[in-house]
Chain A
Amino acid sequence: MDLLTNWLGNMPGFAIPYALAALGLIVSERAGVLSLGAEGLMLVGALVGVGVQLAVHEPAIALLGSMAAAAVVSILFAVMVVWLRVNQVIAGLALVFFCQGLTGLVGSLMGWTNMPVTGLQNLDLGPLVQLPLVGRLFRQNTLVYLTPCIFGLVVWRLNHSLSGLRLRAVGENPQAADAAGIPVLRTRFLAILAGSALVGLAGGYISVVSTKLWIAGMTGGRGWIAVGLVIFARWSPWRAFVGALLFGCIEALIPQMAAAGISLPQYFVLMTPYLVTLGVMVWVALAGKGSDQTPGALGEPFLREERR
């Protein structure tokens, strides 16, 4: 029982970065922009989060800083894919490696590597935490409680607001959206920026909240897993949320198994998130089409003068 509550109590910490990153990716991909740069933007978010935290010692500002930094860096990507119409796969890959190089360079030149920070502390819910058995479940930080709210807000914007409708129209059929008077390029540009801010927040969570320090390349492929998660969720935010919880459960299980005295070869255990991603993608492919929200124009650049 203790094991179970510990496991479930640790789970959000692992699940939140996946959830936020996948949500950010969904925002930009629903506008028709294939965003492979998540891994890089998460690194930017993680680095800047730690940097700001070291400077001002205020985790809320640090997390806002990581959002802003990821959005700023994503302007580069947005200019490439929206205005210059660069192949979105090449642009995404280039962004990842640009960010890996940049964060490695800045992190070590500024001396932020391996500097422990205070980070975001758990929220004290008073009596709830004191509860026997289930008390552990309530020892969470603010962002864990905020994440479902962020999801609700973004889903509402996407599905029930005019700007969300425009965003989806641009991703579904940019020619039609253009004919209806929606500024396709501007919508995509802003969608990339907004989505990237969420991805940056996910990165900030990893460094400022979870590990509380910066190491070069610390995201370890989580951004790519988030990209896989979006495919698994078929571009639906709530399914991505469930998928993120699933991944969180699996990752949280790893330390619990060690605690329970089950000894498995360490490096094989570390492979599981990647193998699970592969397995999930196979499963989705085999399960066939459910309700599919794949954006119709995903990955296609738009130019009004181009005939189709």
Chain B
Amino acid sequence: MADLLLQQSKAPPQPHRKPFVPWLQRRYTLELRQQLGWLQQLVIFVVSVLVGLLISGVILVAAGVSPHDILNEFVVQTFTDPQNLRAVLFQAAPMVMVGLAAAMAFRARFWNLGLEGQMVCGAIGATFVSLHEIGPPGLRLWLMAACALLGGLVWVVAPVLMKLRLGINEIISSLMLNYVAANFLLHLLYGSWKDPKDAFPYSPKFQPFERLPDLLDGFSSAILLAAVVAVAAWWFVDKSRAGLYLRFVHSNQRVADAVGVPVRRMVLGAVLLSGALAGLAGFMVAAGQEGRLTQAFYNGYGFSGILIAFLARNNPLAASAVAVLVATLFVAGRSLQVFYQIPFSMVQLIQAILVICVASSDFFIRHRLRAVGSKA
């Protein structure tokens, strides 16, 4: 045996040269990759985002916006004009919250598609406190936030219990509750909560102390709150024991269960937290942006949250960064709507294209093509 090995190693290395076969004439096979370096992963990610933006740009040009204007609206205006930067951060606060909410649920492998409904319920909870003037003015804002947390949480209880107890698909159940919440919102806005001052379907204005105050220079405190929550969420998933358990649950539920991780409790907790965060996002829209209960939830916040969590790989800090970029998209989309009559659904389309490109690019991270001989 040893002789054999020795002989083999002694044999002179044969020059390994195959005849060159043109690329298209080779036969390819697909195989799974074990691991790809982070740099290559990053390159693939960035390229896919750029491809997505390029496609979106082409669509915008086809819709009648000149390339120069696109660059101006999306890049120059946003980062040079402080007014616009303020608008972006203003928009970013609820985005960060829905992104975190989606990431929390996804970490427990729960497709929480009911983020919009939970936002609506959070906003309804906050408005309830405001309309009934519960608590002293100094505490009012905190009470509203607490009630919003509770509202969002209540709205996710049914889907998560149905999933854990009965094995019901949470995608459908949480989505159905979006429509229920939306109709309930309309019921309130066209009914008992309508502002008596005019005929529009929104609630009476919140009082000044019921709104998220401005910090220095006109930056809303909502973004500060969002940043604090993001850091807390990062601590939770990265440093705490529960976060470690959640990673167990995410990678393999059965193994997690076998080694004694309280899987059901972890899923329940993460999903309830997700609902509560979405409720807080609703509070930020109502008490931060609108100053009253309106129908401002129909801009596809739910999908934006999923997009943010997906692009950030469920990492809270990355989610915050992505949320700011999505907020940029929203702000630019609104000015496109005003100045170029491009409907706001363009923003939705761009987001979907980005998800499609990045999701498809995962293919190149997880697989590789290998040439095996020639076709002939």
Contacts and interface: CB of A to CB of B under 8 A. Distances in A.
Interface string A76-99: 100010001111011101110110
A93 B345 contact: no
Interface residues of A, number: 48
A97 B184 contact: no
Given A89-B111, A97-B351, A274-B179, A224 B172 contact: yes
Interface string B108-129: 0001010000000000000000
Nearest to A269: B183
Interface string B352-372: 110110011011001100000
A224 B359 contact: no
Interface stretch (A61-69, A255-263, A276-284): A276-284
Interface in A145-188: none
Contact of A221 (B171, B175, B187): B175
Contacts of B168: 281-282, 285
Contacts of B183: 267-268, 270-271
Interface in A46-79: 76
B175 A224 contact: yes
A108 B346 CA distance: 11
Interface in B316-371: 342-353, 355-356, 359-360, 362-363, 366-367
A109 B359 contact: no
A219 B175 CA distance: 14
Interface stretch (B26-34, B146-154, B211-219): B26-34
A104 B363 contact: no
B206 interface: no
B184 A267 contact: yes
A275 interface: yes
Given A100-B348, A104-B348, A221-B179, A282 B306 contact: no
B63 interface: yes
A286 B186 CA distance: 32
B166 interface: yes
B187 A265 contact: yes
A80 B173 CA distance: 25
Given A109-B63, A224-B172, A271 B310 contact: no
Given A85-B363, A93-B306, A282-B168, A98 B179 contact: no
Interface string A92-123: 01110110111111001100000000000000
Contact of A281 (B172, B352, B353): B172
A283 B158 CA distance: 14
Contacts of B178: 221
Nearest to B356: A94
Contacts of A252: none
Nearest to B167: A285
Contact of B113 (A80, A93, A285): A93
B249 to A, nearest CB: 17
B199 interface: no
A220 B59 CA distance: 26
B190 interface: yes
A155 to B, nearest CB: 24
A305 interface: yes
Nearest to B165: A285
A278 B171 contact: no
A220 B178 CA distance: 11
B280 to A, nearest CB: 23
Nearest to B348: A101
B177 interface: yes
Nearest to B162: A282
Contacts of A98: 349, 352-353, 356
B371 to A, nearest CB: 14
Nearest to B63: A109
Contacts of A95: 352
B176 A305 contact: no
A306 B169 contact: no
8 closest Cβ pairs, A-B complex: A104-B345, A101-B349, A101-B348, A267-B187, A98-B352, A285-B166, A97-B352, A84-B363
21 contacts: A76-B356, A84-B359, A84-B360, A90-B359, A93-B355, A97-B300, A98-B353, A101-B347, A103-B345, A104-B345, A105-B59, A105-B63, A105-B342, A109-B343, A216-B345, A267-B190, A268-B187, A271-B180, A282-B162, A282-B168, A285-B162
Given A281-B168, A306-B32, 9 more contacts: A36-B171, A86-B359, A86-B360, A91-B356, A231-B172, A267-B191, A271-B179, A275-B180, A305-B29
